[in-house]
Structure 1
């Protein structure tokens, strides 16, 4: 067994930091995360799964890198377990989980810091559910300085490479600051007047329902398909089928840049002549959409449903 890689995960706004060790159960995934450090990201909290923290990690390879070890049900893993996800998330279990699903562990918060982790988890839940004050996670190698950068891939076609440059710049711009389009939408400023009878919550609900799968499933799925040797022409067809309709709808709801970048992407794909370049462009679209999705989940007014609580079954 190799020496564990020690990392520090801190939330300066909360005054809390924990130390974790990345292990060799999924060594390649742990190395990819290690290589991306240091970075910062908006801290999210699970909304249906239980006591679980996650944030979007700026690591393109998380979308496609194969796991060598999986657990069948993450509910039974120790508190403090760190998971890598093909949704481009770094997740940390800090208490009871209710969602039974396989997961990819890559490390664990040291036992002495598990109580501090739970404290951070409760504070992040309050931020996501009620206060809407962003909590930024700082992830670094233990003993090293904090910092932040987003990876920028390159491709051979000049037009596609210019598009990647623009996507990278826009993702950097909104990575740690809420996108104005989403702020306007959540404050009821919707130029298209989307929302029947002047409602806003209905539009927010549909935007959330389209943004997350567009990043997680459509663009993220295209990256995985490219690395699984799907023929390039089939990849082009899949891109047109999977991305155009939801992106156009999101523009109607106020996220015009999603449609703008999607149109440019679809215009470019016939010029791309190899799967690696196709995957690179789709990876940048995925990171951009996943960043938007994270902000949308943070801004969404979950507290409006506070009166709706689970009903326990009779004993």
Structure 2
């Protein structure tokens, strides 16, 4: 039997117990276990159907041996997607994307009946309510875990800077993102509207952190130090410069620290320490950007399903 974890939504008054997939994904589960306990924003996918996910404080590159299609996942399945932001997902209904993701574990059967109500509350919150809804994950058997994440020795001052900011914004919205969503970045947005600038920043941030910087981490073992630094410069500057113009000033500043630090690195271990720290910070930005993005605009583009007869007339009771 795998190790047990508690997954709690304090504001909803719900806790479930899940078993980790220690047998089939031992390295991934061990890495996850070492980072317990943690508290993070709870989110919900807007494309892939009835599951919940959250950006964890982990940057995992552990080997994965067991994957499962989202469309095949039973209720209660835990997944861990390294390549899409290091997110932990919990299935509570039908999945829509036929994409395979690593299996992290399974909510015990006696708790699975609680998940649909939690999932619906999380969906409503992400889509339109916009309250801060956190999920807490910890070891079920407190005697089997030290109760704090495993300490990691970080040697780079630049990496320490990234990690300190990631910790600061773990439960607090970053000021730069707040200014973007409130239209305070006056240099962006044609003819005085700022939704388009916000939309571009949200999408570019996701692409930059999740689909560019994380793949670069996986490449860092295979390229020479010089080639990796050159590759990073080519990919990073267009993203970080544009996002800086969009109002993510600290992100642009940190990218400006990352590139010369990578260029000066004497080993691949130094490179990976820097990248992991930057990704931890970037993933926190992604979580907050996702939380406050106005997904409720989707009410204007409903298919005629589940009581949503007319685009623009959204009935949350019938979703």
TM-score by structure 1 length? Answer: 0.91
Q: State the partner residue of 1:41.
A: 40
The reply on whether 1:163 has 2:158 as its aligned counterpart is yes
User: What is the aligned counterpart of 1:240 among 215, 233, 240?
Assistant: 233
Asked whether the 8 Å contact 1:215–1:287 carries over to 2, the reply is: no
Of 140-149 and 303-312, more deviation after overlay is shown by: 140-149
Q: Secondary structure at the match of 1:96?
A: strand
Deviations 1:202-238 (A, max 9, x none): 01110111101111122111211123x2222221111
Structure 2: distance between partners of 1:260 and 1:146: 36
Deviations 1:178-201 (A, max 9, x none): 11111121111114x200011111
Q: State the partner residue of 1:230.
A: 223
Structure 2: distance between partners of 1:214 and 1:57: 18
Asked whether the 8 Å contact 2:70–2:96 carries over to 1, the reply is: no
Asked whether the 8 Å contact 1:45–1:54 carries over to 2, the reply is: yes
Q: State the partner residue of 1:158.
A: none
Deviations 1:254-308 (A, max 9, x none): 1100100000111212210111110110111111111101110110011123121
Q: State the partner residue of 1:253.
A: 246
Of 212-221 and 255-264, more deviation after overlay is shown by: 212-221
RMSD: 1.8
TM-score by structure 2 length? Answer: 0.90
Structure 2: distance between partners of 1:250 and 1:141: 38
List 4+ stretches of structure 1 deviating above 2 A.
Answer: 143-153
> Which sections of structure 2, spanning at least 5 residues, go unmatched?
306-319
Q: Secondary structure at the match of 1:106?
A: strand
Q: State the partner residue of 1:197.
A: 191
- In the alignment of these two chains, the number of paired residues is 300
Deviations 1:13-51 (A, max 9, x none): 111111100021211101111111111111111011011
Summarize the alignment of residues 49-198 of structure 1 with structure 2, pairs less than 5 Å apart. Answer: 49-60=48-59, 62=60, 64-71=61-68, 73-86=69-82, 87=84, 88-144=86-142, 153-155=153-155, 161-191=156-186, 193-198=187-192
Q: What's the CA shift for 1:148? A: 6.8
Asked whether the 8 Å contact 1:152–1:168 carries over to 2, the reply is: no
Q: What's the CA shift for 1:143? A: 3.8
> Which sections of structure 1, spanning at least 5 residues, go unmatched?
156-160
Deviations 1:40-84 (A, max 9, x none): 111111011011111111222x2x22211222x221121110011
